[in-house]
């Protein structure tokens, strides 16, 4: 090779296993080598990162764009992602949800097609279909979707789109045949409904500070236990989403016998906020499941350290302040946005304050989610991988404000939070897409990624 497209120099490379000074050679969107700058041929473009860290791009497997309960388009949502160092994400395609209305006849394939036809992203993306109805046609659709690179599917045990445990067990059995992943939002519906009705009956409970009592940690742990046992019985891959509490994490640990078929994530907000945030932000901080106690936050870090929890995602749900803040807590829409802020916020909490290593940061935000969801060319800085890179200044301190949001969401639960660590540049397949918080590429650069059927193991 006589000349490279790009050479990244002057940085400290951080991988899931080590940290070292090196240059990175990029050609045709792919990393062609990592090593001494003198070993590379000349490049069309040389980017000196001035001693900053070079991380693999963040892989966020839990994002809500252009669909149910989301006001972000692919353009705005992936702009927020790019500014925050996220280079690939997997978002949800809701069966039967079409432009603000539920279609009782809508198929999973229809939902996937709607997303693929409208997407104009800055970064690369994949799709998790959400199964919202107990229909035999679901089982007919699954093989074709997996063949097309849609290799994970989400279900709910609560709220209006809940499915029965019997049907979820049937889905797991089919997913086991296909090698695909089942993701489940796990809270016991009857417990949550009973607690909510009881709290709503008293006019003194309208404050958001009462919200965690409506969806208690034991309701989460109960549902996690039931669903995990269904998955284990089917020998299916089960990914527990947004684990919030010590109780739920302990349940995951109990059924995670060899670490291969049961995996779990938590989310940025559960690692940096506790239920006192409802005093500060009111309904703006309402998401499902709720924020828990400070001791739950501490426990989550214990489970992250021992790998019971192997991924940190955002569960990015972009909503307008108006839909959150008007009325009592039970009228608030669920969700908070954090695609743009997750890396700096989690870095500040996990590395600066709690002593996690940079290798652990890369494992939780990049390598593990890529491996878990079959994104084989993502989440790593190695020869042959996609050149998805983040230049990160670990020492720059700044204050977060929603005024800088690229997302359509007009608030942030991290408003006025001062963090140390800032994204300076984001590259997707070797192309600079964001620099110092400014988007420098055009929507549509990102691509749909057909994912592999993942191979899970203890490693």
Taking only the tens place, the pLDDT of each residue in 33-52 is 999 999 999 999 999 999 99
pLDDT at 418: 98
Please state, in angstroms and rounded to a whole number, the distance separating the CA atoms of residues 127 and 60. 12
- Length of the chain measured in residues: 459
Neighbours of 179 (CB within 10 A): 16
Lowest mean pLDDT among 2-11, 91-100, 136-145, 429-438: 91-100
What region does 380 belong to: left with phi over 0, alpha with psi -120 to 50, or beta?
Answer: beta
pLDDT at 320: 95
Question: pLDDT band for position 1 (50/70/90)?
Answer: low
Angle of helix 137-147 versus helix 165-178 axis, rounded to 10: 30
Closest CA to 58 of 421, 386, 313: 313
Q: How far is CA 227 from CA 70, 130, 185, 310, in A?
A: 26, 16, 10, 18
Reduced to 3 states, what is the DSSP secondary structure of residue 107?
Answer: coil
Q: What is the dihedral of CA 59, 155, 201, 198, to 10 degrees?
A: -100
Question: pLDDT band for position 98 (50/70/90)?
Answer: confident
pLDDT at 2: 76
Lowest mean pLDDT among 109-118, 176-185, 353-362: 109-118
Please state, in angstroms and rounded to a whole number, the distance separating the CA atoms of residues 189 and 169. 17
Q: What is the average per-residue pLDDT within 89-112? A: 91
pLDDT at 413: 97
Cβ-contact 370, 379 below 8 angstroms = yes
Please state, in angstroms and rounded to a whole number, the distance separating the CA atoms of residues 356 and 417. 20
pLDDT at 427: 98
Whether the predicted pLDDT of 311 surpasses 90: yes
Please state, in angstroms and rounded to a whole number, the distance separating the CA atoms of residues 338 and 359. 22
Q: Where are the domains of the chain?
A: 57-372
Q: What is the average per-residue pLDDT within 417-426? A: 98
Question: pLDDT band for position 296 (50/70/90)?
Answer: very high
Structure tokens at 339: 């695609």
For the chain, the average pLDDT equals: 96
Buried-state track 361-400, b at ≥16 Cβ within 10 A, e below 16: bbbbbbbbbbbbbbbbbbbbbeeebbbbbbbbbbeeeeeb
Tokens 């549902």 belong to residue:
223
Share above pLDDT 70 across residues of the chain, in percent, rounded to a whole number: 99
**What DSSP line would sit under 15-61, residue for residue?**
-SS-EEEEEEEEETTEEEEEE-GGGSPPEEEEEE-TT-EEEEPEEEE
pLDDT in tens, 195-227: 999 999 887 778 999 999 999 999 999 999 999
Q: What is the CATH number of domain 57-372?
A: 3.20.20.140
Which residues are bridge partners to 156 per DSSP? Answer: 185
């Amino acid at each position: 090779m006589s000349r490279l497209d790009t050479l990244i120099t002057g940085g400290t490379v951080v991988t899931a296993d080590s940290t070292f000074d090196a240059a990175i050679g990029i050609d045709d969107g792919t990393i062609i080598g990592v090593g001494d700058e003198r070993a590379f041929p000349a490049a069309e473009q040389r980017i000196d990162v001035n001693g900053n860290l070079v991380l693999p791009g963040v892989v966020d497997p839990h994002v809500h764009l252009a669909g149910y309960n989301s006001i972000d388009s692919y353009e705005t949502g992936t702009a927020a992602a790019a500014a925050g160092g996220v280079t690939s994400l997997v978002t949800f395609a809701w069966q039967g949800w079409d432009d603000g209305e539920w279609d009782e006849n809508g198929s999973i394939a229809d939902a996937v097609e709607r997303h693929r036809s409208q997407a104009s992203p800055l970064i690369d993306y994949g799709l998790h279909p959400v199964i919202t109805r107990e229909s035999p046609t679901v089982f007919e659709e699954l093989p074709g979707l997996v063949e097309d690179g849609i290799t994970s599917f989400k279900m709910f045990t609560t709220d209006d789109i809940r499915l029965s445990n019997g049907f979820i067990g049937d889905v797991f059995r089919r997913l086991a045949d296909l090698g695909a992943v089942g993701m489940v939002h796990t809270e016991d519906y009857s417990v949550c409904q009973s607690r909510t009705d009881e709290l709503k009956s008293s006019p003194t409970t309208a404050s958001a500070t009462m919200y965690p009592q409506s969806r208690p940690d034991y309701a989460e742990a109960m549902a996690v236990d039931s669903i995990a046992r269904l998955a284990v019985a089917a020998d299916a891959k089960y990914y527990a989403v947004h684990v919030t509490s010590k109780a739920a994490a302990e349940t995951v640990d109990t059924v995670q016998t060899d670490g291969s078929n049961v995996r779990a994530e938590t989310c940025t907000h559960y690692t940096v906020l506790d239920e006192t945030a409802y005093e500060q932000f009111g309904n703006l901080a309402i998401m499902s499941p709720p924020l828990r106690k400070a001791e739950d936050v501490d426990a989550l870090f214990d489970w992250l350290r021992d790998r019971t929890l192997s991924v940190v995602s955002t569960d990015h749900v972009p909503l307008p302040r108006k839909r959150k803040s008007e009325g009592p807590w039970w009228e608030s829409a669920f969700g908070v946005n954090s695609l743009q802020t997750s890396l700096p916020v989690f870095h500040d909490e996990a590395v600066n304050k709690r002593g996690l290593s940079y290798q652990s940061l890369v494992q939780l935000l990049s390598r593990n989610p890529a491996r878990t969801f079959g994104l084989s060319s993502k989440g790593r800085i190695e020869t042959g991988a996609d050149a998805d890179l983040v230049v990160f200044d670990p020492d720059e301190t700044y204050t977060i404000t929603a005024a800088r949001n690229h997302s359509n969401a007009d608030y942030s639960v991290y408003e006025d939070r001062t963090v140390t660590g800032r994204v300076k540049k984001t590259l997707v397949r070797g192309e600079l897409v964001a620099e110092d918080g400014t988007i420098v590429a055009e929507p549509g650069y990102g691509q749909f990624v057909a994912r592999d059927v993942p191979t899970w193991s203890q490693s």
